[in-house]
Amino acid sequence: MRREFCDPRADWAQIIESQGLAYHRTSHPEHLRRPYWDESVHYVFPMDEVLALESVVEELHQMCLAAVEHVVSTGRYDVFGIPPWVRPLIEASWRRRDPHLYGRFDLRYDGEGPAKLLEYNADTPTALVESSIIQWYWLQDVYPGDDQWNSVHERLVDRWKQIAPPSPVHFAWTTEDETGEELMTVAYLQETAEQAGVRARAIAMEDVGWHSLKERFVDLDEAEIHTLCKLYPWEWIVAEPFGRQVPRAAWIEPIWKMLLSNKALLVVLWELYPDHPNLLPAFLGTPSTLTSYVRKPLLGREGASMSIVTPEGVRTTTTGEYGAEGFVYQELCPLPDFDGEHPVLGAWVVGDESAGLGIRETSGLITDDTSSFVPHRIDD
């Protein structure tokens, strides 16, 4: 794994906007000199390294599924801060094996030691368009003879063919997101479903209605919503007035993924697989024996409400309003340094298979909304 510099395409901004990354300006703080999409640098991997990472990702995914089975079998929902009335819904969904679509592992990796799991974004992962589409077309334009760890699009289409219901699927985003990132991400998911032959309809979450007589979710035309593919966190859904009506529709992602999108998963994994080479020690509510650690809210996003503590007393804290449900303490494993930048590998899973890679860089210690997305290639 190495970092290389290259010349950006002359009209790169217009190119990526035409390909769907219309939010690269709006989702990135305006005061930053470095753009969100940065093709002046990229990472290069040999094929054997990618194959090894693929194996790690699929093993981690299977470990996470085993963690779900453990929580459901033992009833350890308190660790996750999940309301009691939601727990039977998670168990029923898991026992039915309600189908799941995709997720993204965030990994710490420097090309030398083993990759370390930082977290699993298994419910509402973003950076999908840039990982699947934008960097692929960059590769074709700039390094057409090379390859890329990227079968995300094809695997999404194939997965839809496996799980597609006979009725239409509604694709929902929230109008609360003013950047347009969630709308474009959901639109892309809808496109992959339509390529698989799925009948699809778009709807904002705020426009999802409840028909009290039919006891069904409906859209603005009062058509029944049989299946809802949403980019809207489950913890928000169950807190809504209609949350208790969740069993009246099928959901993608299914409600059992509440256990994988919660950072208490890191604690359960460490208990089930102590000293696993791809895990970091993690504890609930206390640093335990850790002398350097990252405190993460169970349901935080974009690096918000986090703290880093070192033995020397150095402390870095990010702002945010997360943490009401509690915190996990994960051993600090500083991100690697490449030319003063610190990459996090976002490894995609579609179904139960590894599907691709997206990389975000930050000059700080925590990956947040100031980070940039950079492409990669395989030089074999």
Q: Which sign, positive or negative, has the C-alpha torsion 312, 298, 190, 163?
A: positive
pLDDT, position 314: 65
**Pairing outcome for strands 327-331 and 315-317:** unpaired
**Burial class for 267, CB neighbours closer than 10 Å (0-12, 13-18, 19+):** buried
Digitized pLDDT (tens) for each residue of the chain, 380 residues in all: 999 999 999 999 999 999 999 887 766 666 678 899 999 999 999 999 999 999 999 999 999 999 999 999 999 999 999 999 999 999 999 999 999 999 999 999 999 999 999 999 999 999 999 999 999 999 999 999 999 999 999 999 999 999 999 999 999 999 998 888 999 999 999 999 999 999 999 999 999 999 999 999 999 999 999 999 999 999 999 999 889 999 999 999 999 999 999 999 999 999 999 999 999 999 999 999 999 999 999 998 777 888 888 887 767 777 788 888 899 999 999 999 999 999 999 999 999 999 999 999 998 777 777 789 999 999 97
Residue 79, token pair as written in the block: 């660790």
Place of tokens 């970091």: 280
CA dist 350 and 362 (Å) reads: 26
Amino acid at 96: R
Q: Give the residue from 114, 121, 105, 130 showing the smallest Cα distance to 347.
A: 105
Residue 279, token pair as written in the block: 């895990």
The three-class DSSP label of residue 318 is coil
Local structure of residue 175 (DSSP, 8 states) = T
Helix (H) or strand (E) holding 254: none
Q: Is 335 left (phi over 0), alpha (psi -120 to 50) or beta?
A: beta
- Crossing angle for the helix pair 47-74 and 87-96, to the nearest 10 degrees: 120
Q: Are 335 and 344 in contact (CB under 8 A)?
A: yes
Q: Are 154 and 140 in contact (CB under 8 A)?
A: no
Q: How far is CA 255 from CA 195, 235, 298, 301, 322, in A?
A: 25, 10, 16, 19, 21
The answer to pTM > 0.85 is yes
Q: How far is CA 98 from CA 164, 196, 348, in A?
A: 12, 19, 20
The three-class DSSP label of residue 184 is helix
Counting Cα atoms < 13 Å in the Cβ hemisphere of 288 gives 11
Q: In b/e form, how buried is each residue of 347-356, taking b as 16+ CB within 10 angstroms?
A: bbbbbeebbb
